[in-house]
Each structure stands twice: as C-alpha cells, then as structure tokens.
Amino acid sequence: MKTASVAEAKAHLSALLGSVESGEEVLITRRGKPVGRLTAVRDDRPPRFDMAALRNFVAAQAVLPINQGLTVAEMRERDLL
C-alpha cells in the first residue's frame, strides 16, 4: 500500500488515482498519522439487460386467443382470465 501525505496527495492526485485504478490502495497521512484511504470503487451495478434473452422468453410463451367482444366479467365467468 502506498502512503502519501496530504500535501503529496494534493500535488499528485492524478497519479495517485492512476495507482488506485490499477488496484492499489493509497493511505493518506497528516503529520505521519493515517487520516484516509483511497480505494477503487466497486462496480455494484447489475449486469446489462439481455434483450435477446427477453425476446426468446417471450417467443416461448403460449399465445392465448383474444376474446373479442367479451367483457371482463364474461371472461371471468368462463374462466378465461
């Protein structure tokens, strides 16, 4: 783990962030005492949505006939809903 004083961190922030991006942690000190740590941000986002998988899922679903002319109440009576 790298160590940098506050003054060094202010002067070389871009370089320190480069180290953090490559997986290294940087300890920030003030007068020799640790006050903070720079670490990489974890990517907690869910994976991208797979549109092809959705299309395949929808295509595999049974297609029910459309009951034109029936009200919702009539479809419920006939167990169509």
Q: What is the pLDDT of residue 46?
A: 79
The residues spanned by each domain of the chain are: 2-38
pLDDT in tens, 47-70: 788 899 999 998 898 777 766 778
Q: What is the pLDDT of residue 67?
A: 64
Euclidean distance between CA atoms 42 and 26, whole angstroms: 16
**4 contact partners, CB below 8 Å, separation of at least 6:** 12, 16, 26, 27, 28, 29
pLDDT in tens, 32-52: 999 999 999 887 787 788 899
pTM for the model: 0.53
Confirm or reject CATH 3.40.1620.10 for domain 2-38, answering yes or no.
yes
Euclidean distance between CA atoms 4 and 29, whole angstroms: 6
Pair 7, 25: CB distance under 8 Å: no
Pair 71, 81: CB distance under 8 Å: no
